[in-house]
Structure 1
């Protein structure tokens, strides 16, 4: 059987569909479909369950994925040895990051990194849920400390202190009044985020050791990712109060389009971490990125 057919199957299984796998691999969806069918015919067993909405591995397919992943990783590591003979590192670095990190933390870091290493391509997957980065086909992930995978090496990346900020438009506050205590928000229209599961996190405030947790209500709810823009735009339009990472609201606070609320109650939290497998021989793009982040941390850059 063809090695490319095995690679095609793994790409489709990781992406959860032929179209997404085609975008990631540069091979057409029809080409991937033909390769997977050819592989299934050669093996005499179905590897993927296909519906009009999704593709998922069968039990046999999952077993094959588990055996293929380390083999392909070893092949990639073998080819990566050639990087030592190049003047500059090359290859693809695959990162799995949450939406807030993609919007606030990564942009200045990647701008400097890609200028320093123009032959490296960074492939970023934005995902707020907890994932096994290796099973997801990524080299490393970025998460906050409470979401880190076990048995991984973790190094700080980006600002070491962040805050949750609360804000609303001046027009909304002129009409509804300005809260002076977090519990006042219970009588306001609040724009709330949701976890991927649909659960909604409480809004938490802290001042001088006093912690206040509330569950406000309002006209708009949105799950992570690009939906954060809906909450921000809702606040800009005067629909209600937004509560999220300060970095997401900072441009609008600085412009005056949003007015900060309860700033003395804004709760701080530690910054994110880059985490990756603790194996000895890291792929060259990942090793280069890790060294870059360590040097950046040592220089005091966020």
Structure 2
């Protein structure tokens, strides 16, 4: 194993080839030297030679044969894990060059729960698209709590995630490579339609809402747990849940047309003209945040998108003071 700790310049830097790393990743994914050779349009001996070159440089075995085909050893997995970042940085460097030659192009991939896609994200995207109309935005739904999808950041599927974190991230091995930038606090509130009698009330006791029909996300999600904990603190059971859904649009439909109650971020309720009920609930921070990898260099297009998300602070200030964004 002493050979693995060799000096970079004298051995690895001059002999380790990115091409060989790519061949190794293709073999590991296809679980076959022959399949990898066909995919790479190479001969099988050339593939074997590339793997052998890596094993000779590192002085460890990288692949094993098993009944399921070729599989990485613990050393192979360690090398492949770091290679993801190598390939990503190379892709980003090409994108950087393209961006510098034409600063209005590029792509940004964003993970985002529907609750944010229905509130803050449209305003961010509208302003970003006006400034950079040729940048393509890929927005993929990430159900809450979004921290479950941190691996998607690490695998470079997303450039960043927009998320709501109810508490600060713990400092542990799972989150120590994440950078979380808080934009603003957007607490959950109890909401109802404007047509209900609840809107005209100046004060509502939580116990009055226990037998009312509710729309909530499934158990284990933050808005469900927040409501359950609030009722439990008063010695009450979980309220009557009539519709269980992640869909913000479905919830909005029934809040608008029927006598349902729900819990949504304050900005969403006000932006969509729903009533925020005067219920005395325990205060709980619910910040909207940008989540990125600490050790990842974002493309210029992604950096500019982050800049536009920071402008949401002005948006939420306008929303709080006037009820509508400017």
TM-score by length of 2: 0.59
Q: Is the 8 A contact 1:95 1:139 kept in 2?
A: yes
1:229 corresponds in structure 2 to 249
Which sections of structure 2, spanning at least 5 residues, go unmatched?
1-18, 49-62, 170-174, 317-326
Residue 183 of structure 1 corresponds to which residue in structure 2? 207
Of 153, 158, 177, the match for 1:151: 177
* Distance across 2 between alignment mates of 1:113 and 1:287: 11
Distance 1:36 1:236, change over 3 A: farther
Report the equivalent of 2:240. 217
The alpha carbon displacement at 1:112 in A equals 0.7
> Which residue matches 1:16?
none
Q: Could you give the per-residue CA deviations for residues 259-279 of structure 1, whole angstroms, max 9, x where no partner exists?
A: 443256585634311121223
Provide the C-alpha distance between the structure 2 equivalents of 1:267 and 1:183, rounded to a whole number of angstroms: 17
Q: Map of 1:97-246 to 2, 5 A cutoff?
A: 97-127=112-142, 128=144, 129-130=146-147, 131-132=149-150, 133-135=153-155, 137-145=157-165, 146=167, 149-157=175-183, 160-169=184-193, 173=197, 180-195=204-219, 200-203=224-227, 215-222=238-245, 224=246, 227-246=247-266
1:271 alignment partner, one of 268, 277, 287: 287
How far the C-alpha of 1:140 sits from its partner, in A, is 1.2
> Does the 8 A contact of 2:212 with 2:261 survive in 1?
yes
Unaligned segments of structure 1, at least 5 residues? 13-34, 50-57
* 1:69 maps to 2:84: yes
Structure 1 residue 204, shift from structure 2 partner:
7.0
Question: Per-residue deviation at 1:233?
Answer: 2.1
1:94 and 2:117 correspond: no
Whole-angstrom distance in 1 between the partners of 2:99 and 2:241: 57
Does the Cα contact within 8 Å between 2:213 and 2:240 map onto a contact in 1? Answer: yes
> What's the offset of the Cα at 1:137?
0.9
Q: Shift of residue 73 of structure 1?
A: 0.7
SS where residue 122 of structure 2 aligns? helix
Seen in structure 2, the aligned counterparts of structure 1 residues 80 and 213 have a Cα distance that, compared at 3 Å, is: farther
**Alpha-carbon distance between aligned partners in 2 of 1:163 and 1:88, rounded to the nearest angstrom:** 37
DSSP 3-state at the match of 1:231: helix
1:196-241 Cα deviation digits (max 9, x unpaired): 77994241799xxxx758521132222x2xx232233223332522
1:29 is matched with which residue? none
Q: Considering only CA atoms, is the larger Rg found in Structure 1 or Structure 2?
A: 2
Shift of 1:191: 2.1
Question: Cα–Cα, structure 1 residues 45 and 238, in superposed 2: closer, same or farther, change >3 Å?
Answer: farther
Q: 2: CA distance between counterparts of 1:251 and 1:213?
A: 33
TM (normalized to structure 1)? 0.63
- Asked if 2 retains the 8 angstrom alpha-carbon contact of 1:164 and 1:243, the reply is yes
C-alpha contact (below 8 Å) 2:118/2:248 kept by paired residues: no
Distance 1:246 1:4, change over 3 A: farther
* Partner Cα separation in structure 1 for residue 187 and residue 222 of structure 2: 23
Q: Cα distance 1:203–1:81, how it changes in 2: closer, same or farther (>3 A)?
A: closer
Tell me the distance in 2 between the aligned counterparts of 1:199 and 1:242. Answer: 9
Instruction: For residues 113-160 of structure 1, give each alpha carbon's deviation from its aligned partner in whole angstroms, at most 9, with x where no partner exists.
Output: 121112321111111242121226111112234375433333233xx2
- Bigger mean CA offset, 162-171 vs 138-147: 162-171
Cα distance in 2 for partners of 1:119, 1:80 equals 14
